[in-house]
Structure 1
Amino acid sequence: MGAEHYPPPWFSVAPMMEWTDNHYRTLARLISKKAWLYSEMLAAETIVYQTGNLDRFLAYGPEQHPIVLQIGGNNLENLAKATQLATPYGYDEINFNCGCPSPRVAGHGCFGVRLMLDPKFVAEAMCVIAANTNVPVSVKCRIGLDDHDSYNELCDFIYKVSSQSPTRHFIIHSRKALLNGISPADNRRIPPLKYEYYYALLRDFPDLQFTINGGINSIDEVNAARLEGAHGVMLGRAAYSNPWQILGLVDSAVYGAPLRSITRRQVLEQYQVYGDSVVRMYGLKPHIRDVMKPLLGLFHAEPRNVVWKRKVDAALLRCTTIKSILEETLGEIPDRVLDAPLTEVPSGSTDTFIKAKSLLPPPYTVSEEELL
């Protein structure tokens, strides 16, 4: 249908390797009809070298729209081929990964966040991707890496990529990356958040669209960021580990739709039908454990949640269907939890983002060198 037929990307779920797979996205769409969903990052080479097995990596249910495919890589030819192969699957946007700090990606592969040091190549990559698809393209990046973390360097990257390619949408993870051997988890925690860089980009690049990412963990904070001018807000782990309380409120609290009258029992009934239809669809994959994994956050912070997850873990050793696992374990969850409808949350504070806007760096000025 194209992105213009869907709600604006005011809220999106971040691409997370081994997390935002087809199973999680199916669950997410059962809970929220309006959130924008992203695939896991797929390396261009994976797509190119799996031409006989593309459905396993690229297929998804039509209900998952709006959905964005994220790809990574540093070879223009492979990026072009991968985009061509992915285009028939009908993703609503193609996103290019310039933010992953994983050693597997930014290390030997020399892509992900390392590409922020080569904006000329990123611009070329975006031109190649755009030339091979009929949907919008975007870039997801950090605010810098290692010692290349000044606001001006971030602006140089945004300016070069946007002025030399069709890219008009940037997702900004508001932390820099440290490539000194720390883990991806530490890279989401140790570098300080600098939301002021994000809000300065809104000021200095008024013709571009920016989505803010990093450290935002609730719908209150989503609305607070938007109230201060954020074009869109992206959540990662919070939307995965607590899908009911996060995704369940997106449609009403962010998009203004009526609060849905749906319960977790109903979500599980629908997901079970999906899950049992895909277990071992591709030989031994997906394993039943992979299909159950997204459900483990559905009762976050609820009574008996820990006991239920222990029982699920034990049931996975002998059960062969999602239905049998749920029948064996759901007795641990009180009916009042299973059948409780969604409830709205109170409005939150905007202090974090108000403070960020008071710390804006000086305006970016394009140097003569950059103009040349």
Structure 2
Amino acid sequence: MRKNSVKTKTPSISNAARLSVAPMMDWTDRHCRALHRLMSSRALLYTEMVTAPALVRGGALHLLTFSPGEQPVALQLGGSDPAELAQAAVMGAGEGYSEINLNCGCPSDRVQSGSFGAVLMETPGRVADCVAAMIAAVPADIPVTVKCRIGVDDQEPEQVLPDFLRRVRDAGVGRVQIHARKAWLQGLSPKENRDIPPLDHDLVVAMKSEFPDLHISLNGGVTTLEQVESLLARGLDGVMIGRAAYHDPCSILLDADRRIFGSPLPGRSAPEIVEEMYPYIESHLAAGGRLNQVTRHMLGLFAGQPGARHWRRTLSENAHRPGAGIGVLQAALETVGEAQAA
């Protein structure tokens, strides 16, 4: 199997998990992670979900590609067969990921049909078997973690969530990420499942009190660093942010190292991040890639600032064109500068 040339590990993956960017299908690919890593050197980044069958049966090893510069980065797996997940976890560990995460929270129809994702909340015994097999298969220094919901459909979260956490803890899991909403597997689309079920942050905080030995991160409804700081102050070990970190990454990540991790270094500006992306983009283009494969993740860099609309429009209208290169970004930055100077 091809291996990354450098296998680096964060000194403390648990500390990196004080703030993490959630795994998001079609969004948190390697280009997105390269951008986010420039903005925060400390936050824990996650891959998109990769299914164990795709790796084990399909041989889709290209799905594991990442740069050592993305570290600390975690691989999220989807699946429900313990032996298959164990094989996929070994593949991920061999590629150098700092963590292997099991998806027990995705509510999409495609995931349900494969008997994994949020539907696994209904079979905590199977989840325990899966994580036990994964833990036994990978080196001891690579944690196996679980991302889950507080429950699904008509389940009572106050009853099912403690049982679920107890089972995965007893199977050897030391860290979990809890999306503080139910998933409705019938009647709501995946998009609606991200917004309609009510949030219950208090329940997740209560789980930390009930399971003090578990490292618990809260996911769902967090859009600012102020909220992150407040939730950490309530005793949670970490906070995971999804869409806000993607659509407005500067507000979440640029000052995260200082405010969440205590770094003395000041955060950089959005224009500086754009220019620091140039070498990565040039390397991607030289390898035959297209500009818009990277810039689609950069559209929100100036969210809420003068010139944001011009930035998005310049990239959207030009980055897909044949031969598009760094000049598109330079032109887009000029439009931002002109708008902010006006």
Same fold, judged at TM 0.5 (above): yes
Post-superposition Cα deviations, 1:94-127, rounded to whole Å, max 9, x if no partner, equal 1100000111112x11210000111111011101
> Among residues 296, 300, 303, which one is paired with 1:293 in the alignment?
296
Larger Rg: 1
Q: How many residues align?
A: 331
Deviates more, 1:56-65 or 1:203-212: 56-65
> Among residues 129, 136, 139, which one is paired with 2:134 in the alignment?
129
CA pair 66-335 structure 1, distance change in 2 beyond 3 A: farther
> Among residues 25, 49, 52, which one is paired with 1:17 in the alignment?
25
Q: For 1:223 and 1:205, locate their aligned partners in 2 and report how far apart those are by CA, in whole Å.
A: 21
1:252 corresponds to which letter in structure 2?
A: R
Contact 2:284 2:290 in 1 (8 A): no
1:221 CA displacement: 0.3
Q: For 2:280 and 2:214, locate their aligned partners in 1 and report how far apart those are by CA, in whole Å.
A: 38
> Among residues 267, 271, 288, which one is paired with 2:277 in the alignment?
271
- Aligned to 1:69, the other structure's residue is in SS state strand
In structure 1, runs of 5+ residues without a counterpart are: 339-372
In structure 2, runs of 5+ residues without a counterpart are: 1-7
> Among residues 215, 230, 246, which one is paired with 2:236 in the alignment?
230
1:9 CA displacement: 1.6
Q: For 2:187 and 2:115, locate their aligned partners in 1 and report how far apart those are by CA, in whole Å.
A: 14
Q: For 2:265 and 2:69, locate their aligned partners in 1 and report how far apart those are by CA, in whole Å.
A: 19
Contact 1:315 1:328 in 2 (8 A): no
Contact 1:279 1:291 in 2 (8 A): no
1:5 CA displacement: 4.0
> Among residues 185, 188, 192, which one is paired with 1:179 in the alignment?
185
Does the alignment pair 1:84 with 2:90?
Answer: yes
Contact 2:47 2:73 in 1 (8 A): yes
1:319 CA displacement: 4.4
2:44 equivalent in structure 1: 36
Does the alignment pair 1:255 with 2:272?
Answer: no
Contact 1:20 1:38 in 2 (8 A): yes
1:150 CA displacement: 3.0
Q: For 1:311 and 1:100, locate their aligned partners in 2 and report how far apart those are by CA, in whole Å.
A: 34
Contact 2:148 2:177 in 1 (8 A): yes
Deviates more, 1:258-267 or 1:302-311: 258-267
1:195 equivalent in structure 2: 201
> Among residues 121, 144, 156, which one is paired with 2:151 in the alignment?
144
2:169 corresponds to which letter in structure 1?
A: S
2:329 corresponds to which letter in structure 1?
A: L
2:146 corresponds to which letter in structure 1?
A: V
1:249 corresponds to which letter in structure 2?
A: D
TM-score (norm 1): 0.84
1:61 equivalent in structure 2: 67
2:158 corresponds to which letter in structure 1?
A: Y
1:249 CA displacement: 1.2
Contact 1:13 1:235 in 2 (8 A): yes
1:117 equivalent in structure 2: 122
TM-score (norm 2): 0.91
- Aligned to 2:28, the other structure's residue is in SS state coil
2:4 equivalent in structure 1: none
2:53 equivalent in structure 1: 45
Post-superposition Cα deviations, 1:250-309, rounded to whole Å, max 9, x if no partner, equal 10111111242533232212212212322484x7xx543221111101011111211221
- Aligned to 1:307, the other structure's residue is in SS state helix
- Aligned to 2:254, the other structure's residue is in SS state helix
Q: For 2:101 and 2:267, locate their aligned partners in 1 and report how far apart those are by CA, in whole Å.
A: 33
1:206 equivalent in structure 2: 212
Deviates more, 1:153-162 or 1:320-329: 320-329
Aligned-residue RMSD, C-alpha: 2.0
2:3 equivalent in structure 1: none
Alignment of 1:146-165 (within 5 A): 146-163=153-170, 165=171
Alignment of 1:239-254 (within 5 A): 239-254=245-260
Alignment of 1:291-370 (within 5 A): 291-334=294-337
